[in-house]
């Protein structure tokens, strides 16, 4: 009986963490954006919440690091409880955690420029790793026979993430474009948690 209860709890942990990551990825930027004067979710990037000199820099940094750590816990749980997700994809998705932890520890310069201080450069590199890693992971899943049959939409996730990231750099609505890419990533992770719990 104890073994059955442990299996059920372990099986439920992946979808619970996936859902928690999705909620955190929505709630933390929403809360910090509400607290930062003049901030627009349409025009400003998520990074600008924690930019140098931001009145919510500390809250944003803690929130970003928390999201990154949750992503790693989620991926470790999936890796230890299921063989449904290819290991290659899990390692690539771990770069989403690198993006958030690095983004939290190394704040961008004001306005989130592509080039700036050394701290800003580390922040940008971590962000690039997040989007390239997520896009690569979705590409692996879309080529996997199990995942391709379950979710044909995955084949669109890779180009959506890369295109949104690419055009968000100079775009006047780069906050909105970035959030489309983030939504694809975090909904994708939540879907993985759900599918793992059913396997």
Residue 6 has pLDDT above 60, yes or no: no
**Residue pLDDT, tens place only, 53-71:** 999 999 999 999 999 999 9
Q: What is the CATH number of the domain that holds 42?
A: 1.20.1070
Taking each helix axis as running N to C, give the angle between helix 87-105 and helix 174-198, from 0 to 180 degrees, rounded to the nearest 10: 140
Residue found by looking up tokens 């790693």 in the block: 72
Confidence (pLDDT) at 165: 60
Structural domain count, the chain: 1
Residue 14 has pLDDT above 70, yes or no: yes
First to last CA, the chain: 21
Residue 5 has pLDDT above 80, yes or no: no
Q: What is the DSSP letter of 158?
A: H
The whole-number average pLDDT for the span 17-43 is 95
**Residue pLDDT, tens place only, 91-133:** 999 999 999 999 999 999 998 888 889 999 999 999 989 988 9
Q: How far apart are CA 156 and CA 6, in angstroms?
A: 36
Q: How far apart are CA 152 and CA 141, in angstroms?
A: 10
Q: What angle do CA 103, 106, 108 make, to 5 degrees?
A: 80
What is the domain extent for residue 60? 2-198
Q: How far apart are CA 48 and CA 40, in angstroms?
A: 10
Confidence (pLDDT) at 169: 65
Residue 195 has pLDDT above 60, yes or no: yes
Residue 185 has pLDDT above 70, yes or no: yes
Mean pLDDT of the chain: 86
Range from 1-15, 24-38, 79-93 carrying the lowest mean pLDDT = 1-15
């Amino acid at each position: 009986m104890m073994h059955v209860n442990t299996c059920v709890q372990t099986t439920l942990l992946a979808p619970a963490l996936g859902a928690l990551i999705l909620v955190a990825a929505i709630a933390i930027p929403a809360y910090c954006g509400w607290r930062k004067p003049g901030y627009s979710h349409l025009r400003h990037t998520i990074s600008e919440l924690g930019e140098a000199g931001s009145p919510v820099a500390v809250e944003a940094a803690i929130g970003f690091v928390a999201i990154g750590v949750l992503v790693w816990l989620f991926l470790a749980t999936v890796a230890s409880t299921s063989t449904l997700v290819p290991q290659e994809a899990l390692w690539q998705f771990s770069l989403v955690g690198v993006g958030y932890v690095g983004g939290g520890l190394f704040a961008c310069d004001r306005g989130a420029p592509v080039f700036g201080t050394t701290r800003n450069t580390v922040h940008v590199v971590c962000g690039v790793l997040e989007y390239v890693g997520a896009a690569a992971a979705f590409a692996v899943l879309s080529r996997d026979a199990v995942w391709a049959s379950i979710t044909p939409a995955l084949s669109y996730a890779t180009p959506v993430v890369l295109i949104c990231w690419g055009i968000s750099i100079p775009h006047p609505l780069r906050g909105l474009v970035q959030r489309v890419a983030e939504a694809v990533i975090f909904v994708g992770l939540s879907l993985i948690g759900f599918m793992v719990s059913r396997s």
